[in-house]
Amino acid sequence: MNSPLPVAMVVDADGVRVTLSQTVLDNAPIGMALTTVSGTVLWTNAAMAEVIGIADARTLVGRRLIDLVGEDDARQLAADAAALLAGDDAPRREIHRQSGAEPRWLEVRSSLALDPSGTPVELGDPAEPCVIRQLLDVTERRVAEQRLAEAHRELEERNRELERSNEQLSQFAVVASHDLSEPLRVVAGHVELLQARYDELFDDRGRTWMGFAIDGCTRMRRLIDDLLLYSRTGQELHLEQVALADVVAQAVHRVEALIGDSGARIEVVDPLPEVVVDRGALTQVLANLFSNAIKYARPDVSPCIVIRANWYDAGWRVEVADNGIGIPERHRDRAFQLFQRLHGREIEGTGIGLALCRKVIERHGGTIALATNEPSGTTVVIDLPTLTPTPKDEKP
Q: Which stretches of the chain bind other proteins, using CB under 8 A?
A: 174, 178, 181-193, 217-218, 221, 224
**C-beta of 91 vs 183, nearer to other proteins:** 183
Q: Which residue's CB is nearer to other proteins, number 70 or number 280?
A: 280
Smallest distance, other proteins to C-beta of residue 190, A: 7
Q: How far apart are alpha carbons 308 and 254 in whole angstroms?
A: 19
Stated as kind and residue range, the H or E segment containing 211 is helix 204-232
Q: How far is the CB of 341 from other proteins (least distance, A)?
A: 22
Q: Is 87 left (phi over 0), alpha (psi -120 to 50) or beta?
A: left
Beta carbon of residue 184, minimum distance to other proteins (angstroms, whole number)? 6
Nearer to other proteins, 190 or 253 (CB): 190
CB of 192 to other proteins, least distance (A): 4
Residue whose CB is less far from other proteins, 75 or 185: 185
Question: Residue 163 CB, nearest distance to other proteins (Å)?
Answer: 20
- In the complex, what is the shortest distance from the CB of residue 187 to other proteins, in angstroms, rounded to a whole number? 8
Query: What are the contacts of 45-52 at 24+ separation with CB within 8 A?
Result: 48/135, 50/137, 51/97, 51/106, 51/135, 51/136, 51/137, 52/97, 52/99, 52/100, 52/135
Q: Minimum distance from CB of 178 to other proteins (Å)?
A: 6
For residues 281 and 270, the answer to whether their CB atoms sit within 8 Å is no
Please choose, from the candidates 234, 357, 334, 235, the residue with its C-alpha nearest in 3D space to the C-alpha of residue 286: 357
Query: Amino acid identity of 29?
Result: P
Minimum distance, C-beta of residue 183 to other proteins, in the bound complex (Å): 8
**84, 69 contact by CB (below 8 A):** no
- When the beta carbons of 352 and 368 are compared against other proteins, the nearer one is 352
* DSSP state for residue 264 in the 8-state scheme: -
SS3 for 345?
coil
Shorter beta-carbon distance to other proteins: residue 177 or 291: 177
β-partners of residue 96 are 105
**What residue type is assigned to position 386 of the chain?**
T
- What does each C-alpha distance from 305 to 87, 320, 353 come to in angstroms? 78, 7, 17
* CB nearer other proteins, residue 224 or residue 255: 224
94 vs 192 by CB, closer to other proteins: 192
45-47-51-52 Cα dihedral, nearest 10 degrees: 50
Please say which residue, 214 or 342, places its beta carbon nearer to other proteins: 214
CA 93/CA 133 separation, integer angstroms? 11
Name which of 264, 265, 266 is nearest 245 in CA terms: 266
Minimum Å gap between C-beta 195 and other proteins is 9
